[in-house]
Structures are given as C-alpha cells and as structure tokens.
C-alpha cells in the first residue's frame, strides 16, 4: 500500500473515530435526551468529587454522554448515526478513550481517592 493510500485510509479511520466521539456510546441516547430538557440555568454537575472510583467512572460516562447531547442536540440524528459506529471496533475504542480521558480528570479531582 502506498504512503498516499495509507494516509487516506488513516484519515478515513480518524474521521470514523471522530464521528463516534460526536455520537458516543450505544446507550447514551436516553441521558443525552435529558440534556435537551434541561434549562440553561440548571446545574447538573455541581462537583467532580465522588466517593469511590466506581462512582468516578460512572461520572466519566455521564460526562461523555452529556458531551454527545451538547454536540448533537437532535436525538433523531444521534439515533440515525448509531448504526455507523455501533459495530466498528475503532469507533468503540474511540468512545472508550473519551471516557478514559474524562475518568483521568475525575480521578485527579478526587486526588485518586487517596485519604
């Protein structure tokens, strides 16, 4: 495969991964739909502090889902895009990466749950 073809193929894969980041997570539609119903004055994230790492991970997932709802507020568009990434391993890995990045932020905010 030529360098040009590899670069083009990488670009296509990166675009797919970015599409996923904009459409994130198979089960996120319900939580992202909640975003549409919220008033702009509604505080849904009062703190990044959690009791346990497991709660921190759940918060990281929520942050990812909220990002999807903010990026693409139209639930029907999100649902229509889901088949494009739902079975693509690279897209699912990209979704995991977004969650992991949020989890790093939450873990740092919680001083990695050290006492």
pLDDT one digit per residue (tens) for the chain, 115 residues: 555 544 444 544 544 444 445 444 444 444 444 544 445 568 999 999 999 999 999 999 999 999 999 999 999 999 999 998 899 999 999 999 999 999 999 999 999 998 7
Is the whole model's pTM more than 0.75, yes or no?
Answer: no
92 vs 98: CA distance, rounded Å: 10
Q: From residue 92, give the alpha-carbon distance in Å to each of 17, 18, 23, 28, 69.
A: 8, 11, 11, 13, 18
Two tokens, residue 106: 């939450």
CA 38 to chain centre: 19
């Amino acid at each position: 495969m030529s360098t040009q073809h590899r670069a083009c193929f990488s670009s296509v894969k990166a675009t797919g991964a970015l599409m996923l980041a904009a459409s994130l997570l198979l089960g996120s539609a319900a939580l992202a739909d909640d975003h549409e119903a919220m008033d702009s004055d509604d505080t849904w994230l009062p703190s990044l502090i959690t009791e346990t790492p497991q709660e921190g991970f759940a918060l990281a997932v929520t942050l990812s889902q909220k990002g999807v709802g903010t990026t693409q507020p139209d639930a029907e568009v999100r649902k229509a895009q889901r088949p494009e990434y739902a079975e693509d391993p690279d897209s699912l890995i990209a979704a995991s990466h977004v969650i992991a990045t949020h989890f790093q932020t939450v873990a740092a905010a919680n001083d990695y749950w050290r006492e």
